[in-house]
Structure 1
Amino acid sequence: MKKVSKMIQEEGIWAGLNRPGIDMEEADIVVYGIPYDGGVSFRSGAKEGPAAIRNITYTIPPTTERWEDLSSLKILDLGDMEGASRDEIFLQAEVAAYSIAKSGKLLTMIGGDHSTTIPVLKGIDRALEKPFGIIHIDAHFDLCHEMGGDLLSHGSTGRRALELENVPDTESIFFVGVRSVESEELAFIQNHDMNMIKALEVRRNGVEKTLETIQSKMARFEQIYITVDIDSLDPAYAPGTGTPQFGGLDSRELLDLLYGLFELPVIGFDVVEVSPKLDDSALSVFAARKILTECWGHHQRKNKNIRGKYVAE
């Protein structure tokens, strides 16, 4: 992996859990960033997300909100995928995702705009021999064929995913929290069988019922990837993002959803669209950090069989 990324040497990041230089086989979780936001259709700044998130992980304790100890976790941060062009950056990201998926370690990617999920899914697709499911938590569908002539825009992530060999049909993706739709996307979803739960439905039905629906639909997959756009949260909780939409999930709903979703066979996840320059309070950066570390706790809990089914608390 040294050939495809700038290595992160700081042992202090990620609550002191980073183990720079260890072999991937020794790691529990492998992380990398894609500081790219050239795929946006509106406000930029998400390329600054990976560095901003890492920078607030030096002083946090290696624990979760449920008081679980993460100190035994070994994190391998591969650094950021960098290059002179998008093609070069995305190729590195795809190669990294392929290697991590092959290793069986939990893949964690930090974007960047949502287009950065495209090469990650391509790498996973090449690595796997069976179909896999995708849970897309977002204010938007990202199902446009292209935006402004760009097939790799942040509004085309879901559409490119549906073209992958191991994503067999439109019901392989479950969209959660969506509350904005382009005219092209509306026509697409009206003509295809889709799995989706609007943000307003999460609020009306509750997290527990929402999880039951998602889990029943995605149970057919032995491997699942979760992509979290920070704009799935209402702007009150994460204002620092390029295309915020009112009426989103609150922080408790999102954290509880992720807790339950990790009962599924999750092989990787990402957090994207965090734009620090659009949020003087840094709320969005802190939200992303919380999502990352809590998901690592869910992964550890599942591997240790500490707890079973999600129960509302």
Structure 2
Amino acid sequence: MLRTNCMIPKQFIGSEAQATYEQAKVVILPIPYEKTTTYRKGCQHGSTAIILASDQLEAYDIELEQEICQETAIFTVEAIADTRTNPALTPEAMLEITTSRVSKLIADGKFVIALGGEHSITAGVVRAYQQALNQPFTVIQIDAHGDLRHSYEGSIYNHACVMRRVLEMDLPTLGVGIRSICLEEAELIKQQQIPVIWAKDIYRDSNWIDKAIALIKTKQVFITIDLDGLDPSLLPGVGTPEPGGLNWYALTKFLRAVFTNFQVIGCDVMELAPASDSVVSEFTAAKLVYKLIGYSQQRYYSRTKLC
């Protein structure tokens, strides 16, 4: 059974993470929020499951040839927007709470990796960066779904609408791995010429990463990862799985290319809904977060404040 006690564990990668908040370059922000999920439930337990699974990671990364947690100070802060203890928390309130908390972390010069929780959270995270920066940045969305509906099930803050809210912030976006959209979203993509690297094209075109990089016109990017962007054979523990997703090496190769070519200002990893009979999904998600930490220390990352 999944342990959901907020006290266990306290830190991503457990005893290997010895930094204080003041020392930390990278801050992990758990956001165990779930209010608008529409199929398989459980993503409010996702951040806890990822942090718990991270205690089983090897500190040494073969690709980067280093013990990432020894090279980079990591600190996990207290969770926010927790619907396990505050089930009445509305999406609108969650948005405000998330923006406020992330804004403080940005002001403190931290590289933030937010862990969901449902994907609607991303709107609050992105808004914090928009308020902090004086120049545009691209939001790279790794996802199975477009998430571009104006509203869904009576709410404009539904998890199926998050990228529509991002577009309303006048920020450029790039969808990667998309393979499921509704008619409304298809028409919006055509009308607004929203850049998308479709999942089917990833498997047909060996140059897809170069093409994706060429579509990004800003120096700074924010990466949001809905874990259903990965193929469900690799990571089945999500709310709305879709066949035909990214494999591990396609995803990590793309992410490293992004970190190499742009200044990544922050990331989030959303929508893990852990299963009761398997730890494969949370372990894979934890390893992905560890990769993001390692990549964040590459060429373009600076400890200086963004604002």
Residues 144 and 185 in structure 1, CA contact (< 8 A), matched pair in contact too: yes
Matches within 5 A, 1:1-313: 13-19=12-18, 21-23=20-22, 26-66=23-63, 67-70=65-68, 71-82=70-81, 84=86, 85-86=89-90, 87-164=92-169, 167=171, 172-206=172-206, 209-218=207-216, 220-263=217-260, 264-277=262-275, 280-302=277-299
Q: What percentage of aligned pairs have identical amino acids? A: 28
The CA RMSD measured in Å over matched residues stands at 2.2
Residue 303 of structure 1 and its aligned partner are, at CA, apart by: 5.7
Q: Distance in 1 between matches of 2:8 and 2:227?
A: 27
Task: Name the SS of the counterpart of 1:241 in structure 2.
Answer: coil
| Residues 147 and 104 (structure 1), Cα distance of their counterparts in 2 relative to 1, 3 Å cut | same
Matched-pair contact (CA < 8 Å) for 1:138–1:228:
yes
More divergent stretch after superposition (151-160 vs 71-80): 71-80
Amino acid at match of 1:137: I
Partner Cα separation in structure 1 for residue 20 and residue 294 of structure 2:
23
Q: 2:212 and 2:168 mapped to 1: Cα distance?
A: 22
> Which whole-Å CA distance do the structure 1 matches of 2:71 and 2:53 have between them?
20
- How many angstroms apart in 2 are the aligned matches of 1:115 and 1:12? 24
**1:69 positional shift:** 2.2
Deviations 1:232-256 (A, max 9, x none): 1111011111111111111221121
Q: CA deviation at 1:136?
A: 0.4
Partner of 1:160, secondary structure, is helix
Residue pair 1:101, 1:128 contacting (<8 A) in 2 also:
no
Aligned-residue offset at 1:10: 5.9
Equivalences, count: 288
Equivalent residue letter for 1:297: G
Amino acid of the structure 2 residue aligned with 1:276: P
Write the distance in 2 (CA, Å) between the matches of 1:97 and 1:149: 27
1:181 alignment partner AA: I
Aligned to 2:305: none
Asked whether the 8 Å contact 1:114–1:229 carries over to 2, the reply is yes
Q: Which amino acid aligns with 1:173?
A: T
Cα 1:143–1:252 shift into 2, 3 Å: same
What is the TM-score when the length of structure 1 is the normalising length?
0.85
- Unpaired stretches in structure 2, ≥5 consecutive residues: 1-5, 303-307
Q: 1:31 is matched by which residue type in structure 2?
A: I
Q: Secondary structure at 1:242's aligned position in 2?
A: coil
Write the deviation string for residues 226-281 of structure 1: whole angstroms up to 9, x where unpaired.
0111101111011111111111111221121112111121011111111003x632
Partner secondary structure for residue 59 of structure 2 = coil
Q: C-alpha separation between the residues in 2 aligned to 1:289 and 1:33?
A: 13
Shift of 1:41: 2.2
| Secondary structure at 1:33 match in 2 | strand
Cα separation, 1, equivalents of 2:7 and 2:125:
19
SS at match of 1:194: coil
Contact 2:54 2:287 in 1 (8 A): no
Shift of 1:283: 1.8
Letter of the 1:155 partner, please give it: A
Unaligned runs of 5+ in 1: 1-6, 306-313
TM-score (norm 2): 0.87
